[in-house]
Copies of this chain bind each other. A is one copy, B any other.
Amino acid sequence: MSERWVGADLGGSNLRVALLDGEHRVVRRWRCAVGHLAGGGVLDALREGVRAVAGSETVRGVGVGVPGLVDPLRGSVRVAPNLSGLSGVALGPDLQRDLGVPVWVENDVNAIAVGEWARGAGRGARTVLVLTLGTGVGGGLILDGSLYRGPDGSAGEVGHMPLYPRGPRCACGARGCLEMYASATAVVRAAQARGAPAEGGALSVARAARAGNRAARQVLARAGRALGVAAAGLVNLLNLDRIVVGGGLAGAWDLLEPHARRELERRAFAVPLERFRWGPWKLGDDAGVVGASILARESLGL
């Protein structure tokens, strides 16, 4: 029987769990809503999901991506703003005891970044930023061929880089963070303010833009420019091979890219710019479970 791994991607509203083969291809998927659950309920859901996808198969290890600040060496969750019941929970040791297999806990965007880097749109590159444009803007950094966590594990927080320092107030307390311009939330809010169709979220803004709606096009142009300005700074600072764009706005990348490119080319230096490429994610909603399962394997030295 071939090798089996489990990856879990815990979001603010959904938990996705998958069984993966030795090449980290998804064999089976399972999901449930978790937005309403307290800490213990999330743990129950995780156990249920792992058992459901594993069935009678033997699993080598489980990786879990968590939306918050984690301590991977202890397997604990330090702060999880959107799943407050999990803050302070020793998720890894608890699950490991119950399931009888090694469990690795990682920040959710870091898991997505590893998934896209190893098996998706970042393949072949050694220095990659994976951006998730969703409710907020998240980031995961691969530097010189390995995940860069920083000393507290909080690195990659690109959503709160000041973009227009005198801009509107962000939920984080600062002004003009990238997230205020380039998240799916920001696009929907700006579309509503301009009377563009936005009932179905950011992708309905994209549909309206494709159909020629002028306000929708302007909203996406603004988000694209913000991404281009931020990307230029990051290309100059980190000499990135690649940026991979994921999350709810990834499906609108073709509409964002021309505006982003104009700012990027105006601001980034010639040498790092020549190497640099960007594009939308490839694994989509599977990126997190793939990355978490890869990190579980790596934690075992396999």
Residues in A lying within 8 Å of B, measured CB to CB: 69, 78-79, 126-127, 139, 141, 143-144, 148-158, 160-166, 172-175, 229-230, 232-234, 236-241, 263, 266-267, 269, 271-272, 275
Given A148-B144, A233-B162: A155 in contact with B239 (beta carbons within 8 A)? yes
Contact check: which of B151, B241, B269 meets A239 at CB < 8 Å? B151
Q: Which of B69, B164, B269 contacts A172 (CB 8 A)?
A: B269
Q: How far is the CA of A72 from the CA of B152 in the complex (A)?
A: 31
Do A229 and B162 touch (CB < 8 A)?
Answer: yes
Query: Which residues of the other chain, B, contact A151 by a CB distance below 8 angstroms?
Result: 126-127, 239, 241, 275
Give the docked Cα–Cα distance between A141 and B272 (Å).
16
- Report whether B165 and A164 are in contact in the complex, using a CB–CB cutoff of 8 Å: yes
Write out the residue numbers on chain B whose beta carbons fall within 8 Å of the beta carbon of A153: 239
Contacts of A266 in B (CB 8 A): 173-174
Alpha-carbon distance A192/B229, docked complex (angstroms): 30
How many chain copies does the complex carry? 2
CB <8 Å contact, A154 and B271: yes
CB of A260 to closest CB in B, whole Å: 13
Q: Do B236 and A161 touch across chains, with their CB atoms under 8 A apart?
A: yes
**Cβ-closest 4 pairs across A and B:** A150-B239, A161-B233, A174-B267, A155-B239
- Indicate whether A161 sits within 8 Å of B237 (C-beta atoms), given known contacts A143-B148, A151-B127: yes
Shortest C-beta distance, A275 to chain B (Å), equals 6
Q: List 23 A-B contacts (CB under 8 A).
A: A139-B237, A143-B143, A143-B148, A148-B238, A150-B238, A150-B239, A150-B272, A154-B236, A154-B269, A154-B272, A155-B238, A155-B239, A161-B233, A161-B237, A162-B267, A164-B166, A165-B263, A172-B267, A173-B266, A173-B267, A174-B232, A174-B266, A234-B237
B residues near A156, Cβ cutoff 8 Å = 237
Bound Cα distance from A243 to B51, whole angstroms: 47
What is the CA–CA distance of A156 and B272 in the complex, to the nearest angstrom? Answer: 11
A62 CB to closest chain B CB (Å) equals 26
Instruction: Write out the residue numbers on chain B whose beta carbons fall within 8 Å of the beta carbon of A164.
Output: 164-166
